[in-house]
Structure 1
Amino acid sequence: MYRDQPRRQAGTLSAAHQTPRRFVFVLIENFTLLSFAAAIECLRIANRMAEKPLYDWTVVGDGDVVACSAGSRFQLDGPLGELGRDDTVLICGGVDIQQASTKKLLNWLRREARRGLKMGGLCTASYLMARAGLLDGKRATIHWENHDSFAEEFPEVALTKSVFTIDGTRMTTAGGTSSIDLMLSIIAQDHDEKLANAVADQLIYSSIRTDQDTQRLSVPTRIGVRHPKLSQVIQMMEANIEEPISPSILARDAGMSTRQLERLFRRYLSRSPKRYYMELRLQKARNLLMQTDMTVINVALACGFSSPSHFSKCYRAHYDTTPYRERGSHSSRLSV
């Protein structure tokens, strides 16, 4: 299943590609369908454009059927067995990735990695690779929503905000369409840029990104306002969550007065700089509560709050619940 035949049967492959390169997709429960589909479509189209089978693939996992985060269910080709030495493993992650970190899966990843296989994590699967110790001392990326929790839990990994990374035999992507960028890079490396561009053209993918491109939209695009000084201040805020900068210093570094800074935020964002900064810190705190086992006290400190009581008060005012209840309700949903 999942394989298209080339448009016409080719003759023999070149000496460098006597057999198709095989990818083993590992589907994790609640995986992100877009990341998986984007990757596998690149391989299918590469075969079609080359008019010969450059790539082959199989889909494995723990069990017979796995559901994606959208609810659709996929029949697997096989279990987590021993793979060929030339196989490339791509693990497809998604929501609630911590729940997928089973001992069986982590041991399987470690075993196959010891055999020298190339391994990649799509979307949040970087978390599984890090838990298995496969990213220690490596550059890696993960979906921006999981960036803060990943950085806290795996300080030995050189985490980037890139669309994708390739560091030796380890590959990671940020999720969504970044799978396309990774696969196009692999296709160009395996064959040539002409084929990669042909695949992108078939996908109507007009802007191919590299591992130097960042995953999030620019600040002006995200907030819907194109004001250079406002963007500069917000970037400083986002880069200094654990140790917040005072409005006076933010204003000084942006080349304006504190009063001008206040007017700028109220005009474009309908809130004070202090309020906006607080919302950024609380959003990071919520991500850490949902995605890590950090204590509430450590979450508070990581987000610039000097005391748990102040943190709890601010959190309740913004989210209408306490940090402890937030974590408890999230844990109960996962256990259902």
Structure 2
Amino acid sequence: MAERTQQQARSGETRIWRFDIILCEGFVLTEFSALVEVLRIANRVLAQPPFVWTLRSAAGGQVGCRAGLRADTEPMPKRTDADFAFFLGNSDPDHPGLADARAISSYTSRGTKVYLLAEAAARYIRDQGGGGGRLTTHWENSTLLRERLGLSDASHALASEDGQLVTCAGMNATLDVVLALVGRLTSAAAQVAVSDILLHERVRDLGSLQPFAGVRPTVTGDRDLDHCIRVMQDNIEEPVPISDLVAQLDISTRSLERKFRSYLGTTPNGFYREMRLSRANNLLLNTSMSVREIGFACGFPNGFSTLYRQVFGITPLTLRKRRRPSSATGSKNEGAAE
């Protein structure tokens, strides 16, 4: 894997991130959709699609969910080249196919980051004899673990990271988990672009508590930063100068820059530009607007093609010809992503 990454870096290729999505009979469709759709849409908005995925199960073949959908899967690999493995939850927490310890060990021993969702996480916690406060699962599973086995120390966070293993609440929190991963692997602006397309108003911090038992906990975040990003999102065509943004927020430019560095690993100007370029990619691939019209629509009245080539190493017109009508990179099983 490291050798492949070095070769890509030398040749200027986009880093390809490989996902194995592990299903067992009765898998949760909400989690499946959240995972695949985030990756698919991220491929759509980025100039060079970075994500590929393979659906897998213990024996391969068709696997069904309780909603009636069936998916074609490949058998678990003997030697994986996946960067990430997602074990989906199941409406039956006692299903024998959930979170097989040998499969998890096979992935982690080769450096693959493993995500266990909902019941898959609960099975792991049960097998470990408890979470020690560092593992999490859906609150319903926590209740079952407490009532049936006396295990009551699982975290109630949306997700908990423990080395190569990430345990997650699953269900709709899967969106937050995968969006956070997309932001880490690509850019914060790409994360926001995907979130906007999904109409997912806010990517929750993974340390946020689950809104269980009718109680909505305080959500971790920075209000000034949230406000700033909303203003940027509302002003794509006519970008607001950073000086006006800090005036609206009543903070200093240095303070805003510190927030962007701390939370998003970039600058306000860099984030704003990436957000507008992500919008431009979406328009390039999904509308008949001319390159010039797209430049204007995304706040680049002059020099759009030149800037685009400097950032992505390809002109907007070349990207459009290369990616249309062909679709984004996606699953071997799913076929075309668009």
Instruction: Please give the range of the TM-score, normalised by the shorter of the 2 chains.
Output: 0.5 to 0.7
The AA in structure 2 aligned to 1:193 is A
Larger Rg: 1
Which residue does the alignment assign to 1:47? 43
Are the aligned partners of 1:138 and 1:158 in contact in 2 as well (CA < 8 Å)? yes
The answer on 1:195 being equivalent to 2:190 is yes
Give 1:1-336 correspondences, 5 Å limit.
Answer: 18-63=14-59, 64-76=61-73, 78-101=74-97, 105-130=100-125, 133=128, 139-151=134-146, 153=149, 155=151, 159-217=154-212, 219=214
Question: How high is the TM-score relative to the length of structure 1?
Answer: 0.55
Amino acid of the structure 2 residue aligned with 1:71: G
Q: Percent identity?
A: 26
Q: Taking structure 2 as the reference length, what is the TM-score of the superposition?
A: 0.54
Deviation at 1:122, TM superposition (A): 1.8
Structure 2 equivalent of residue 306 of structure 1: none
Q: 1:185 to 1:153 in 2, by over 3 A?
A: farther
Q: 2:63, 2:70 within 8 Å by CA — same for their partners in 1? A: yes
Single out whichever of 189-198 and 144-153 deviates more from structure 2. 144-153
Contact 2:9 2:15 in 1 (8 A): no
SS of the residue aligned with 2:27?
Answer: coil
| C-alpha distance in 2 between matches for 1:192 and 1:134 | 38
TM-superposed deviation, 1:170 = 1.3
Q: 1:128 to 1:177 in 2, by over 3 A?
A: same
Q: Structure 1: how far apart are the matches of 2:184 and 2:13?
A: 13
**CA deviation vs aligned residue, 1:34-75 (integer Å, no higher than 9, x gap):** 111101111111111112121110000023111112222111
For structure 1, which runs of at least 5 residues remain unmatched after alignment?
Answer: 1-11, 222-336
CA contact (8 A) 1:49 1:198 kept: yes
Higher relative contact order (CA 8 A, sep 6+): 2
* 1:58 aligned counterpart, secondary structure: strand
Q: Distance in 2 between matches of 1:14 and 1:135?
A: 42
Shift of 1:133: 4.7
Q: How many Å separate the matches in 2 of 1:38 and 1:115?
A: 26
- The 1-side partners of 2:117 and 2:161 are apart by 12
Change (3 A) 1:176 1:200: same
Q: Report the Cα distance in structure 1 between the residues aligned to 2:24 and 2:17, rounded to whole angstroms.
A: 22
| 3-state SS, counterpart of residue 207 of structure 1 | coil
- Report how many aligned residue pairs link the two structures: 208
CA contact (8 A) 1:20 1:56 kept: yes
Summarize deviations over 1:97-135 as a string: whole Å, max 9, x none. Answer: 212247x93322233333332101122210233356599
Distance 1:193 1:135 in 2: 34
Q: What letter is aligned with 1:54?
A: P
Residue identity matched to 1:61:
S
C-alpha distance after superposition, 1:280-305 (max 9, x if no partner): xxxxxxxxxxxxxxxxxxxxxxxxxx
Distance of 2:175 and 2:8 partners within structure 1: 25
**For 1:186 and 1:54, how far apart are their aligned partners in 2?**
12
* Cα distance change, pair 53–83 in 1 and its aligned pair in 2 (3 A): farther
Distance 1:220 1:62, change over 3 A: closer
